[in-house]
Amino acid sequence: MRLSVLVGLFIGCALLLAPVTEGCGPGRGYGKRRPPKKLTPLAYKQFSPNVAEKTLGASGKHEGKITRNSERFKELTPNYNPDIIFKDEENTAADRLMTQRCKDKLNSLAISVMNMWPGVKLRVTEGWDEDGHHSEDSLHYEGRAVDITTSDRDRNKYSMLARLAVEAGFDWVYYESKAHVHCSVKSEHSVAAKTGGCFPGRSLVTLDDGSSRAVQDLQPGDRVLASSGADGSRSGGDLVYSEFFTFLDHEPAARKQFYVLGTETGANLTLTAAHLVFVTEGNCSLGELAKGAVMRTMYASDVRPGQCVLTAGRNQGLQGNLSQVIWVHIQMDTGAFAPLTRHGSLVVDGVLASCYAAMDQHHLAHWAFGPLRLLYSWTRWTGTGASLGDGLHWYSQVLYWIGTFLLDPGHFHPWGMVTHDSER
């Protein structure tokens, strides 16, 4: 496809200046599997990556102990993987409790252990700790660290086990003692930034004939309700029908954590933590927008009750209304979709949201994705159309790839205060 190469070059130039923005794909390491490479065991007392555990380049700083009574206890989820042996010294099943990220990495390590040594399983000697056995700021207290061995307790295997843990995606691995390997992961909050922004598949958008369509069923050429402002923020509440181009991310089977913003009008917006929403402060009267107040974008996880979002009611036509957010919940949902429209915004479940994520400047993101929107405008005329493959859009991947070179991870999506509830 010569056209895409040309456009690629053009985009390449634009991107050198562009901020990073992405869909909700797993980012780093996502996509094609690399061919198997030779695995070098870790040396005794070696850690990987070669930085301190609680730094940004590894698992990040500790965020405080999680106890059975604390609000954050529900961030921990039990791991009942039959391919993993839990020592459970304490006899409380506490070792099985861990964050989702820790669980994902551990489960993937369990598979590589069985592949490497048939008949041998992964064994966890220590997981979440509620008894204060570790140093004050240990990640064991947050369910983010595990100490592991192999089921045969063959110490000659531990240096290779440490390498397999690195390959499985643990954010920090330490061949700590002759008796075990220590592994830890980043907090869910800091990863939320990297895993970008999406809506669940069943969320509804409004088509130009007035009907509703699930986000997962969008087709190129559909015209969906969006903000008329070129960058979404300066529309005075006016809405338009905007052409849907493609999905910046498309993961029908993904199960993710979503934020739900409940508004006084009953419209509830569900989206991932790092997705951008338009908000204003104040008394949520539309008059303020008419007087030139600008809606600013912020991460879904930073929105607080009392702020105002733009809602579009059934009988309101192309005039939006400001509506106050009255609660914020977190829940799990299936399918993760990030639609891109010509206007860079869209109304989902009756609430206006940005098409972008992971960087809290909607207008910069809109600019960075300009070339892609142009490309889709062209292909519509040449009739090549859009292919809606699974995963993160190649353009988002390129932006993400460039972003990882230019920006410190701490630049993204700081963990904001949210109200949790028990729906998880």
131 appears as a binding residue in the annotation: yes
Q: Which is nearer to ligand NAG, 193 or 348 (CB)?
A: 348
Secondary structure, 3-state, the chain: CHHHHHHHHHHHHHHHCCCCCCCCCCCCCCCCCCCCCCCCCCCCCCEECCCCCCCCCCCCCCCCCCCCCCHHHHHCEECCCCCEEECCCCCCCHHHEECHHHHHHHHHHHHHHHHHCCCCCEEEEECCCCCCCCCCCCHHHHCCEEEEEECCCCHHHHHHHHHHHHHHCCCEEEEEECCEEEEECCCHHHHHHHCCCCECCCCEEEECCCCEEEHHHCCCCCEEEEECCCCCCCCCCEEEEEEEEEEEEEEEEEEEEEEEEEECCCCEEEECCCEEEEEECCCCCHHHHHCCCCCEEEEHHHCCCCCEEEECCCCCCCECEEEEEEEEEEEEEEEEEEEEECCCEEEECCEEEEEEECCCCHHHHHHHCHHHHHHHHHHHHHCCCCCCCCEECHHHHHHHHHHHHHCCHHHCCCCCCCCCCCCC
Structure token pair of residue 233: 């923020």
Q: What Rg do the C-alpha atoms of the chain give, in angstroms? A: 23
Q: Which is nearer to ligand NAG, 76 or 325 (CB)?
A: 325
Q: Which is nearer to ligand NAG, 171 or 349 (CB)?
A: 349
Q: Which is nearer to ligand NAG, 94 or 269 (CB)?
A: 269
249 appears as a binding residue in the annotation: no
Length of the chain: 424
- Partners of 321 in the beta sheet? 311
329 appears as a binding residue in the annotation: no
**Where along the sequence are the contacts to ligand NAG (CB under 6 A)?**
262, 266-268, 282-283, 285, 287-288, 313, 316, 319, 321
In whole angstroms, how close is the CB of 267 to ligand NAG at the nearest point?
A: 6
In whole angstroms, how close is the CB of 75 to ligand NAG at the nearest point?
A: 21
Q: Which is nearer to ligand NAG, 67 or 316 (CB)?
A: 316
423 appears as a binding residue in the annotation: no
95 appears as a binding residue in the annotation: yes
Q: Which is nearer to ligand NAG, 12 or 266 (CB)?
A: 266
Number of CB atoms found within 10 A of residue 73's CB: 14
Q: Which is nearer to ligand NAG, 41 or 313 (CB)?
A: 313
231 appears as a binding residue in the annotation: no
Question: Which residue type is seen at 216?
Answer: Q
140 appears as a binding residue in the annotation: yes
In whole angstroms, how close is the CB of 291 to ligand NAG at the nearest point?
A: 7
In whole angstroms, how close is the CB of 305 to ligand NAG at the nearest point?
A: 13
In whole angstroms, how close is the CB of 251 to ligand NAG at the nearest point?
A: 23
**401 CB contacts (<8 Å, ≥6 apart)?**
none
In whole angstroms, how close is the CB of 316 to ligand NAG at the nearest point?
A: 5
Q: What angle do CA 162, 403, 231 make, to 5 degrees?
A: 140
Closest C-alpha to 108, from 43, 37, 67, 167: 167
In whole angstroms, how close is the CB of 328 to ligand NAG at the nearest point?
A: 12
In whole angstroms, how close is the CB of 63 to ligand NAG at the nearest point?
A: 28
176 appears as a binding residue in the annotation: no
In whole angstroms, how close is the CB of 202 to ligand NAG at the nearest point?
A: 11
Q: Which is nearer to ligand NAG, 257 or 268 (CB)?
A: 268
In whole angstroms, how close is the CB of 171 to ligand NAG at the nearest point?
A: 35
Give the separation between CA 15 and CA 19, rounded to whole angstroms.
8
Residues 243/263, Cβ–Cβ less than 8 Å: no
Annotated binding site: 89-90, 95, 125-126, 129, 131, 140, 147, 182
Annotated binding site for Ca(2+): 89-90, 95, 125-126, 129, 131
Annotated binding site for Zn(2+): 140, 147, 182
